[in-house]
Structure 1
């Protein structure tokens, strides 16, 4: 039950803004920096993928070895998100 709740909250907090940022919408403070906004969208999408990879195997009752493999893949997704956040922060300082 806790994994389903966490996945639902993560969907609202990460997936919806990520899709909005990737489709071209940006908050007022990022309107003039669309490339930076899209990079932040990719970072949020990577974080959502990490959360989904950790929650879905536990929701469906997958074997523990498969769950651990998904957790490792989720950690790699978190590294991808960190790389996107780093890239977005350097884009902001280049202006």
Structure 2
């Protein structure tokens, strides 16, 4: 999906808007659909997503008394604890391809 703008700009992709491919787009996370858009048109749907890497601030986690998360639920809980104990936003992510 990260190559959508480059390929769409060159005309290698056709937009999927109005096709059956997008009939159930409400089942996808909006940010994933947004990554498949270029100039307001949708050129793809998410098939598989993954996390290449997870980087965390060890000092901030230690300051808040939180261990490194092992699951996404752990991450959400850790983020809330970090915010409560330190005032620092405990989670940030980019979905910008």
Q: Which has the larger radius of gyration?
A: 2
Which one has a larger percent helix, Structure 1 or Structure 2? Answer: 1
TM-score relative to the length of structure 2: 0.24
Q: TM-score, normalised by structure 1?
A: 0.24
Higher relative contact order (CA 8 A, sep 6+): 1
